[in-house]
Chains A and B, each alone.
Chain A
C-alpha cells in the first residue's frame, strides 16, 4: 500500500500540469436559519499551502467540511483533478485523495498508534490475519520519513495532545493524498512542535501535495502560507498571495462590513458596581481576569473561539468554578460552587450552545421556560403553581414575541430564534441582576436578532447588568458600553465604547 506504483506516478505527473488541483465554484450551503456559504469559490494549486481566513462563523469550517466530503453543498460545483465530482462521504473524499486532519482529534484511544494509522488497510499474512510486525515496520518507516519519534506500538491514550496531532498528520500522509486539510493544527502544540510541523508541511509541499490550512494566527500565515482566501459572513471576499499584503490588509478584509448591519444601542443609565471580579483564574483555561460591571451596563466580551470567553462565563456562573480569585456581588464576597449558588446571587447564564446546554428538546415551551424559576418559589402546597407560572410565561411570550402555536408545543418544533427567546425568557423569569449572554444571536435570522438586541438594551435600561459574549464584532461594538478582549486565556485589554473599532479588537484578539 505504501509504495506507489508506476501508473499512479504517471497520473500524479499529469496532474501537476493542471494549474489547480481543486476548483470550487458557486457553492451554497444552508443550515436551518442560516446561510453558511453563499456563492463561494476557492481554487487550490498543487504543491502549495493555501490558508483560509475569516472571523468565527465566516464559513471556513463549512467550506472545509464540504471539501472533505462531510457536508454536501446545496448548490455549486467541485472539480477535482480537472473533473467534476460529487463527494458522497468522508471516505469517498479520502479514496479520491482528499484527507482531513480534524481539529477535534479523531483517534481511537485504546488502540495502538500503528493500528490507528492503518485502520481499514491493515497488512495481512498468508492466513488473512493481521500482520502486526509488518504494520509496526510500516509505521516506523512512515515516522522516519517525517522524523516523528513516537513508538508505533504505544497506545494512543498514553500520548500527549501534540503527539496525537503528529499521529493524525502521519495518518493523513500515509494515505498519500493529493490534498491535505489542516484545521488549526497548531492550536494545541508548543513552539518547537510547530517548527517540526512546518518542516513536514514544507516537505509535503515539495512532493506536490496541496495543503488547505486554517488558522487564526496571523504570523503563521506569513510563515507557511503561499496564498490565502478570505471569507466573511459566508461570502467569498478574495484570494491573494501572502507576499503581496500586510497583516492590516487581511484584518480589514476579514472585518469589513456595510453600515446597514450595525446595531444601534439605546442609552441606559449606568449605576453602581454590581459585580467585581478580581484575578479570577482556572489554571490551563484562563488567568487573571479582573473587571467591574455596573448596573445598566453592557460589557462585551470578545475574542476568538477557544480564547476562554465562555470559560469565564461558566466560572462566574459556577458551571466550572474558578480555582483562584474573588467574585464580589454588590460589595459582598461570594463563593459560587454551582449554578444554583449563582442563581441565588441573582445571576443568569444563557449558554453558548442552544442544543447541548440550553433546550430540553423533548419538552414543551412551557416546561422549558419555567424550569429555572422553579428553583425558587412557584410551589404551593407541594405542587407547582402551574396556573400562576403559565400566566407569567404567557406574558413573557408576548413581551418577547415568541412565535409558537401555544405554550404546550414542543420546543424542538420552534425556529432557532424562537428557541433562543424561550431560553432568554427562562432566565428573565428568575429576575436576574446580572445576565450573562453567551452568543445570544448565533445561528438565528436577522429579524429575531434585531429583537434580541432591542431586548438586551431594554434590560440594561431597567438596571440589569449584562455581560455579552459574541464572535460577531459589529454586534459587540454596537451593543457594548465597554469591550473586554481575550486571547488564549488572558485579558488583552478593555476598550471603551468611544475608542473601540473592529481593527483594534482584532489586534487584541489575534496578536
Chain B
C-alpha cells in the first residue's frame, strides 16, 4: 500500500446549518417590525401576545398545507392543487357536519352526525385528490405542474358545483370545536413534528430525499419510485384535506372561494424555508420558519397600517428573492464540486 498515492480530500467550508440562516432571517424580520413599530406606532410589535397568537393562527392552515407541499417539492415535484382541495374538502365536509337545529340543512337525514364522520370524509377526499395527482404523475409521466394544475381547476370546480355556489353553514358544536381557539396552531405543530420525524428517521423519508436527488439512482437502488411518488402526493392531499376541515370548522361555514392562493403561500413558505425546487433538499423545520416569516410579514404590515396591496407586492418580491438566493447557493456549490 506504500506506493498508493493519497487523494486529497476536498474539505467543504464549515458553514452554519441552513435552518439557522432562516431562523436569523425570522429574527431580523421581527426586529425590523419592532423598530418600525416604535418609530411609527409608538408601541412594541412583539410584546403583544394577542397579536402573535392571531399571527400564528392566520398562517396555521397554510402551514399544514406547506408540510405536505414541502415533501412534494423534495421529490422534485410541485403541488398546485392544495388551495382548491381545501375548498373542495371544506364544502363536502361541511355538508355532512351540519346541525339539525338548522332547518335547511343540505342533507336533512345526515345532520348531527358524530364528528368522526365529517373528519373521515374530509381526510378521505383530500387523500383521494392527492392519490389521483400522484397516480397521474407516476404512471402517465406527465409533469407534476400539469397534473396538479388540472386538479387545481377541477377541485375548485367541484367546490362550486357542489352547492351551485351557495355557502354551507351551521355545523355541529363538536365539529366547530376542531378549529376553535388555538386548536389550529396545535394541529399545525403536531403535523409538522410528525413529518419532520418521518422525513428524517423513517424509510419513507430517506426514499423521498433519494428520489428528489436522483430518480434514476433511486430506481437502481431498488426503490419503487412510482409507488413512492403516489404516497408523497397522497400525503400532501391528505394534509390539504385536513386544512380544509380546519378552515371550515373555524369559519363555521364553507365557501367555494376558500383557500384561494393557499397553494402559492405554501410553496413560498417551503422555498423561503430552504427547500430546493430542484429536489432532494429541504426540511420541515425550515418550512415552519418560512411559514412564520410569511405570517410575521402579514401581521407586521397590518400593524404598521400598510395598504394590503403593498403587502402582496412585497410578498411577491420576497418569494422570488428566496428562489434567487437558492439558485446562487446551488451554483456556488456545483462550482466547488
Q: Please tell me if A407 contacts chain B, counting CB pairs below 8 Å.
A: no
Residues 1 to 30 of chain B near chain A (Cβ within 8 Å):
4-12
In the complex, are the beta carbons of A340 and B9 less than 8 A apart?
Answer: no
In the complex, are the beta carbons of B221 and A426 less than 8 A apart?
Answer: yes
Residues 320 to 370 of chain A near chain B (Cβ within 8 Å):
338-340, 342-343, 349, 351, 356-363, 367, 370
Residues 198 to 248 of chain B near chain A (Cβ within 8 Å):
201-203, 206-207, 209-210, 212-214, 216-224
In the complex, are the beta carbons of A375 and B4 less than 8 A apart?
Answer: no
Given known contacts A339-B220, A362-B276, is B214 in contact with A450 (CB within 8 Å)? no
Q: How far is the CA of A382 from the CA of B12 in the complex (A)?
A: 33
Q: Please tell me if A105 contacts chain B, counting CB pairs below 8 Å.
A: no
**Number of A interface residues in the complex (CB < 8 A):** 46
Q: Please tell me if A159 contacts chain B, counting CB pairs below 8 Å.
A: no
In the complex, are the beta carbons of B7 and A375 less than 8 A apart?
Answer: no
Given known contacts A319-B219, A339-B221, is B4 in contact with A363 (CB within 8 Å)? no
In the complex, are the beta carbons of A357 and B217 less than 8 A apart?
Answer: yes
**Number of B interface residues in the complex (CB < 8 A):** 36
Given the complex, which residues of B lie within 8 Å of A360, measured CB to CB?
A: 209-210, 213-214, 217-218, 280
User: From residue B327, how far is it (CB to closest CB) to chain A in Å?
Assistant: 14
Question: Which of these, A343, A384, A409, contacts B202 with CB under 8 Å?
Answer: A384
User: From residue B14, how far is it (CB to closest CB) to chain A in Å?
Assistant: 10
In the complex formed, the residue of B with least CB distance to A33 is: B7
Chain-B contact segment, one of A294-302, A412-420, A494-502? A412-420
In the complex, are the beta carbons of A361 and B220 less than 8 A apart?
Answer: no
Q: Please tell me if B281 contacts chain A, counting CB pairs below 8 Å.
A: yes
Given the complex, which residues of A lie within 8 Å of B218, measured CB to CB?
A: 360, 371
In the complex, are the beta carbons of A383 and B201 less than 8 A apart?
Answer: yes
Chain-B contact segment, one of A58-66, A83-91, A440-448? A440-448
In the complex, are the beta carbons of A351 and B12 less than 8 A apart?
Answer: no
In the complex, are the beta carbons of B210 and A415 less than 8 A apart?
Answer: no
Q: How far is the CA of A349 from the CA of B217 in the complex (A)?
A: 11
Q: Please tell me if A410 contacts chain B, counting CB pairs below 8 Å.
A: yes
In the complex, are the beta carbons of A358 and B222 less than 8 A apart?
Answer: no
In the complex, are the beta carbons of A356 and B216 less than 8 A apart?
Answer: yes
Q: Please tell me if A403 contacts chain B, counting CB pairs below 8 Å.
A: yes
In the complex, are the beta carbons of A412 and B337 less than 8 A apart?
Answer: yes
Question: Which of these, A404, A410, A446, contacts B5 with CB under 8 Å?
Answer: A446
Question: Which of these, A357, A372, A415, A447, contacts B10 with CB under 8 Å?
Answer: A415
Given the complex, which residues of A lie within 8 Å of B279, measured CB to CB?
A: 362
Question: Which of these, B9, B207, B214, B217, contacts A404 with CB under 8 Å?
Answer: B9
Q: How far is the CA of A418 from the CA of B207 in the complex (A)?
A: 23
Given the complex, which residues of A lie within 8 Å of B8, measured CB to CB?
A: 415
Q: How far is the CA of A417 from the CA of B203 in the complex (A)?
A: 28
Q: How far is the CA of A362 from the CA of B216 in the complex (A)?
A: 14
Q: Please tell me if B305 contacts chain A, counting CB pairs below 8 Å.
A: no
In the complex, are the beta carbons of A367 and B206 less than 8 A apart?
Answer: yes
Given known contacts A357-B214, A415-B9, A417-B7, is B222 in contact with A382 (CB within 8 Å)? no
In the complex, are the beta carbons of A362 and B221 less than 8 A apart?
Answer: no
In the complex, are the beta carbons of A405 and B217 less than 8 A apart?
Answer: no
In the complex, are the beta carbons of A409 and B12 less than 8 A apart?
Answer: yes
Q: Please tell me if B336 contacts chain A, counting CB pairs below 8 Å.
A: yes
Given known contacts A360-B280, A384-B201, is B7 in contact with A371 (CB within 8 Å)? no
Q: Please tell me if B164 contacts chain A, counting CB pairs below 8 Å.
A: no
In the complex, are the beta carbons of A359 and B203 less than 8 A apart?
Answer: no
Q: How far is the CA of A413 from the CA of B337 in the complex (A)?
A: 5
Q: Which of B201, B219, B222 neighbours the largest number of chain A CB atoms within 10 Å of its CB?
A: B222
Q: How far is the CA of A414 from the CA of B214 in the complex (A)?
A: 17
Given the complex, which residues of A lie within 8 Å of B50, measured CB to CB?
A: none
Could you mark each residue 1-42 of chain A with 1 if its beta carbon is under 8 Å from any beta carbon of chain B, else 0? 000000000000000000000000000000000000000000
Q: How far is the CA of A412 from the CA of B336 in the complex (A)?
A: 9
Q: How far is the CA of A370 from the CA of B6 in the complex (A)?
A: 25
Given the complex, which residues of A lie within 8 Å of B210, measured CB to CB?
A: 360, 363, 367, 371
Given the complex, which residues of B lie within 8 Å of A370, measured CB to CB?
A: 206
Q: How far is the CA of A361 from the CA of B218 in the complex (A)?
A: 12
Given the complex, which residues of B lie within 8 Å of A448, measured CB to CB?
A: 7
Given the complex, which residues of B lie within 8 Å of A106, measured CB to CB?
A: none
In the complex, are the beta carbons of B7 and A418 less than 8 A apart?
Answer: yes
Could you mark each residue 379-412 of chain A with 1 if its beta carbon is under 8 Å from any beta carbon of chain B, else 0? 1001110100000000000000001110001101
Q: Please tell me if A317 contacts chain B, counting CB pairs below 8 Å.
A: yes
Q: Please tell me if A137 contacts chain B, counting CB pairs below 8 Å.
A: no
Given the complex, which residues of B lie within 8 Å of A319, measured CB to CB?
A: 219-220
Given the complex, which residues of B lie within 8 Å of A379, measured CB to CB?
A: 202-203
Given known contacts A362-B280, A448-B7, is B201 in contact with A357 (CB within 8 Å)? no
Q: How far is the CA of A372 from the CA of B221 in the complex (A)?
A: 5
Q: How far is the CA of A338 from the CA of B212 in the complex (A)?
A: 20
Given known contacts A339-B220, A383-B201, A384-B201, is B9 in contact with A405 (CB within 8 Å)? yes
In the complex, are the beta carbons of B222 and A343 less than 8 A apart?
Answer: yes
User: From residue A367, how far is it (CB to closest CB) to chain B in Å?
Assistant: 7
User: From residue B315, how far is it (CB to closest CB) to chain A in Å?
Assistant: 28
Q: How far is the CA of A360 from the CA of B279 in the complex (A)?
A: 11
Q: How far is the CA of A426 from the CA of B201 in the complex (A)?
A: 19
Given the complex, which residues of B lie within 8 Å of A358, measured CB to CB?
A: 217, 220
Residues 290 to 337 of chain B near chain A (Cβ within 8 Å):
333-334, 336-337
Given the complex, which residues of B lie within 8 Å of A218, measured CB to CB?
A: none
Residues 152 to 168 of chain B near chain A (Cβ within 8 Å):
none
Question: Which of these, A340, A371, A446, contacts B224 with CB under 8 Å?
Answer: A340
Name the 4 nearest CB pairs between A and B, nearest first: A360-B213, A447-B5, A362-B280, A375-B222
17 contacts across the A-B interface (CB closer than 8 A)? A338-B222, A339-B219, A342-B222, A356-B216, A360-B280, A362-B209, A362-B279, A363-B280, A367-B210, A374-B203, A404-B9, A405-B9, A405-B12, A413-B11, A414-B9, A415-B7, A447-B6
A358-B217, A384-B202, A403-B7 given. 15 additional CB < 8 A pairs? A357-B214, A360-B214, A360-B217, A360-B280, A371-B218, A384-B203, A404-B9, A409-B12, A412-B334, A413-B11, A415-B7, A418-B9, A445-B5, A446-B5, A451-B4
Residues of A within 8 A of B (CB): 317, 319, 338-340, 342-343, 349, 351, 356-363, 367, 370-372, 374-375, 379, 382-384, 386, 403-405, 409-410, 412-415, 417-418, 426, 445-448, 450-451
